Amino acid sequence: MIQRIQSVFLLVVLLCGCCLLLFPFVSYEGYPPLFLRNPVDITPIGNYLSMLTALLCLFIYKNRKLQIKLCYVIMFLNACLFLTILFLTNQLYEHDFEKKTFLFSAYLPLLAIIAAFIASRYIKKDEELVRSADRIR
C-alpha cells in the first residue's frame, strides 16, 4: 500500500487537509485570522469528508476501480471546498470587510485536487498493468 506512488499522493491529500485545519486560511484587517476547525460550520465538513475519503482510498488498495472513483470524489470535495473558501468566506463568517488576505492554506485544496488527480492516473496505470498481465495468462 505505501510502496506505491499513488499512496504518496493520497498522503499529500491527507496532509493538505490536516494543514488546512491547523493553519488559518484567511485574515481580515484588524481581526484575528480564521481557522477551519469548527465542525458545526459547513466549510470544515467538506475538509473532513475529503480527509476521510483519502484515508479510505489509501487502505482499499486491492479494489482499484473503487479507488479511482474515490479519487474523483476527493477531487469534487476539494473543488467545492476551494470555491467555498474563495467565494463564500464573507457570507459564511459574516465579515463585510473589503480588506481580506487569503493565506497559503486557502490554496491547499487546489494542491489536494492535483494530488488526487495524479493518484488516480497512477491507479489507472496499475489497473491497465494488471489487465495486460491477465491477458498474457
Greater confidence, 46 or 56? 56
| Mean pLDDT over each residue of the chain, to the nearest integer | 85
HEC string of the chain? CCCCHHHHHHHHHHHHHHHHHHCCCEEECCCCCECCCCCCCCHHHHHHHHHHHHHHHHHCCCCHHHHHHHHHHHHHHHHHHHHHHHHCHHHHHCCCCCCEEECHHHHHHHHHHHHHHHHHHHHHHHHHHHHHHHHHC
pLDDT at position 95 over 90: no
How high is the pLDDT of residue 44? 84
Greater confidence, 63 or 40? 63
Domain residue limits at 17:
5-136
The tally of domains found in the chain comes to 1
Q: What is the pLDDT of residues 96-105, one digit of tens each?
A: 666 778 889 8
pTM of the model: 0.86
pLDDT at position 129 over 80: yes
Using pLDDT thresholds of 50, 70 and 90, give the confidence band for residue 121: very high
